[in-house]
Amino acid sequence: MKISKKATTIAVINQKGGTGKTTTCENLGVGLAMEGKKVLLVDADPQGSLTVSMGWQDPDALPTTLSTLMQKAMNDQCIPPGEGILHHAEGVDLIPANIELAGLEVALVNTMSREKVMKQVLESAKREYDYILIDCTPSLGMLTVNALAAADSALIPVQAQYLSAKGLEQLLQTVQKVRRQINPKLKIEGILLTMTDSRTIYGQQISNLIRQAYGKHLKVFDQTIPRSVRAAETSTTGKSIFQYDPKGKVAEAYHSIAKGCWPMPKNGLNVSLNSYDDIFSTEETRQEEQREQVQQIPIDELYPFKDHPFKVLDDEAMQRTVESIKQLGVTNPLIARPRPDGGYEIISGHRRQHAAQLARLKTLPVCGGVITAVTFHEVHSTPHAQTSTQSDNQSLKNFDSRVKEFHSRFSFINESCRPSVHT
């Protein structure tokens, strides 16, 4: 069989359980194999649902799993080609998972480059396969971030129900944050509606709602996966839908997707989400979003604001921060606003600036665009602002509100995607 130079890695993702994510990963993989593609499935769920569905009923008894391989990568140990890969009778390979993966997710928190451990594990496999499909855990934790960091694109199965549709907003926001902070090449393949029932008015309404809300910005597959009792039974048989119910509507649907939509054309169907606000906000807020990018600012252009209440001490904790910055850099950007006489005034990050000075860094990452709507220049340049204390106070209140909003919008990255040494 012809070996591809670089596989296309697709993360099958949804933070909500019961959306048909594992079923989609398995059957789409087998469908691609039926089309002559070499496919590797990766079970990235500590529950081991994909592993069990493919016939390995006792994942905890397997000697080598994804947890084993990721632990080796974390310890800088060599991973021999093909280690831990299981071969399924229907022509696909599998890296299994078990409950040990839950413990490893905790260990990832204190690991250097923790978001890219799974990518490191799959790097060698990219040369051996045409497609790598990752069955993500139903959460937005570190394992999911690892999957998105390793993926070229994300496929989102969505059950045709109201709560599933509503959860898309948070998921798309997370994908966008990972794309912005970790994996700039990450794209969204599209939204796949699963367990649909066109016979009911409710099912039709939910499907139409999703297409109306997201169809202008993302691909929503025309082909849907119908609800089927036979499809639900496959998890106990170790077979795909193509073996268990080859003439059923579900098998026909997955075969249609595998045959007609992969690889995705390069004419725009493989849509990247340029901004979460492209979907959920106005032109004004989208422009504001563009100003929130992190920039590298020379350290000698950053000044603490006058009489700031924060104590910056050269103590043992400061020394640990300095050593961490020397090793990892400053991963948590400062927040600053422009000064009327040049440079930037630090709003948040005085200890990081001081530690960076001790570490002799030349520049620091700064999120300053969010502050530009209320700068000193704007407050003091207009006649009204010069004479109105009330106006100044209101501007400062608006500023504080925007800072809180900024922290809230980026809370996921703060909690899940940055080393904890000096956050």
Shared-domain flag, residues 143 and 262: yes
186/384 Cα distance (integer angstroms):
47
282/273 Cα distance (integer angstroms):
16
At 277-331, the pLDDT tens digits run 444 444 454 455 444 567 888 998 998 877 666 678 888 888 888 888 887 788 7
Q: Which domain holds residue 247?
A: 8-282
Shared-domain flag, residues 226 and 302: no
Domain CATH code at residue 206? 3.40.50.300
**Gyration radius of the chain's alpha carbons:** 25
At 90-116, the pLDDT tens digits run 999 999 999 999 888 888 877 778 889
Question: Residue for token digits 């529950």?
Answer: 47
Shared-domain flag, residues 324 and 254: no
What pTM, to 2 d.p., does this model score? 0.63
Give the chain's residues under pLDDT 70: 1-5, 164-166, 261-293, 307-310, 368-423
- 3 in any annotated domain: no
Three-state SS for 298? strand
What confidence score (pLDDT) does residue 397 get? 53
- 423 in any annotated domain: no
Domain CATH code at residue 359? 3.90.1530.10
Instruction: Determine contact, residues 213/245, Cβ cutoff 8 Å.
Output: no
Shared-domain flag, residues 199 and 298: no
Q: Considering 261, 282, 303, which residue would you say is the last residue of a domain?
A: 282
